[in-house]
Amino acid sequence: MNSTLVVNQLSKSYPGFELRNISFEIPKGKIMGLVGENGAGKSTTINSILNLIKADSGTVTFWGQKLTENKKLKEDIGVVFDGINFYETLTPKKVGNIAKAAYTKWDTAAYTGYLERFNIPADKEIKTLSKGTKMKLCIAVALSHNPKLLILDEATSGLDPIVRYDILEVFLEFVQNGENSILMSSHITTDLEKVADYITFIHEGKLLFCKSKKELLNQYGIIECETKDFNLLAKEDVLVSQNRVSSWKVLVADRDKIKDKYGLKVKDITLEDILLLYVKGE
Ligand SMILES: Nc1ncnc2c1ncn2[C@@H]1O[C@H](COP(=O)(O)OP(=O)(O)OP(=O)(O)O)[C@@H](O)[C@H]1O
């Protein structure tokens, strides 16, 4: 079994919103970035994967097994959400003591190491910590019970660029053994550009694509052109386009092919460009 997580045709409806047939898998040793606009369905996907909400249909397996069939799998999954879920009067040290009793694979030395590495004061009450420090504490706890999969929902959004840099380094170290994997949703697309191996893009509850980040950034491109050039483009070459007065932005899947075929200038692309074009374009 070479996949850590396999999500197959996951669907969930709320009044006015439908998450439809989301499928993707994360190979061992890889990081999957989950992107999409506000309300796209990222948290619904993550909560359904973790069985925190009940999906209407679809299956989710971790290392080939379902959470409902093997509750012990939870020990192998470290979870971090945007928002602290520890009692505010506890200190990080006390959190460590509680976690030691709760997790069979708790690693006290690793936890102490993360507290030092992330500059988290061990003896201060959680309510006195900054939002970023609380988030770092959640990440330290998630890492210290020796999970094989980390699931992070907007876990780095409250952190400044320097702390984010350190945390992303920790994530890269975490998967280096070729066994551990990460699923992380983030609005900070540059973070995903730095660490993700694959990108799953959800838009209005639908899966737009799940692709290797390298393929996306090395092959996709943007054409910025006037209407006369846009009209020359064959429909099948246009993934999505955005019209602004008389100029067009066009997302294409194979920039070398498009350059050769039309002789147009095709620019390199960022994940943010792709996100913006899919959300704003047609
Ligand atoms: N418990 C619920 N009851 C009803 N609607 C819900 C519930 N939870 C989420 N939704 C709706 O489902 C849609 C998707 O929400 P979700 O939180 O999954 O999006 P998201 O991509 O994580 O967004 P964000 O980036 O803003 O966190 C939204 O329209 C939201 O209002």
38 lines ligand 1 (CB under 6 A): yes
Residues 164 and 191 sit within 8 Å (Cβ to Cβ): yes
Distance 127 CA to ligand 1 centre (A): 27
Q: Among 13, 18, 34, 42, which is best to mutate for testing ligand 1, by the most ligand atoms less than 8 A from CB?
A: 42
Mean pLDDT throughout 102-112?
95
Six-digit token pair at 181? 């994997």
Nearest CA to ligand 1 atom 18: 41
CA distance 273 to 261: 23
Neighbours of 76 (CB within 10 A): 17
| Pairing label, strands 31-35, 221-226 | unpaired
The pLDDT tens digits for 185-224 are 998 999 999 999 999 999 999 999 999 999 999 999 999 9
Please count the other Cβ atoms lying within 10 Å of the Cβ belonging to residue 84: 16
Q: Directed axis angle between helix 161-175 and helix 131-144, to 10°?
A: 10
Residue 156 to residues 80, 152, 176, 226, 228, Cα–Cα distance (Å)? 10, 8, 20, 39, 43
The residue contributing the CA closest to ligand 1 atom 16 is 41
Q: If residue 190 lies in a helix (H) or strand (E), which one and from where to where? A: helix 189-195
Looking at the predicted structure, is the pLDDT value of residue 152 above 90?
A: yes
Tell me if 208 sits within 8 A of 202, measured CB to CB.
Answer: yes
78-87, 90-99, 246-255: the lowest-pLDDT one: 78-87
Closest CA to 151 of 60, 54, 275: 60
The Cα 190–Cα 268 span in angstroms is 15
pLDDT band at residue 254 using 50, 70 and 90 as cut-offs: very high
Mean pLDDT to the nearest integer, 167-194: 95
CA of 50 to the centre of ligand 1 (A): 15
1-211: CATH architecture: 3-Layer(aba) Sandwich (3.40)
> Is residue 99 within 8 Å of residue 141, measured between CB atoms?
yes
* Residues forming beta bridges with residue 7, ordered by sequence position: 24, 60
Where along the chain do its domains lie?
Answer: 1-211, 219-278
The answer to whether residue 280 scores a pLDDT higher than 90 is: no
Say yes or no: ipTM exceeds 0.95. Answer: yes
- Residue pair 150/142 in contact (Cβ under 8 Å)? The answer is yes
Host H or E run for residue 256: helix 255-262
| Ligand 1 atom, smallest distance to 205 CA | 14
Task: Determine contact, residues 30/184, Cβ cutoff 8 Å.
Answer: no
- Report the range of poorest mean pLDDT among 50-59, 64-73, 105-114, 167-176: 64-73
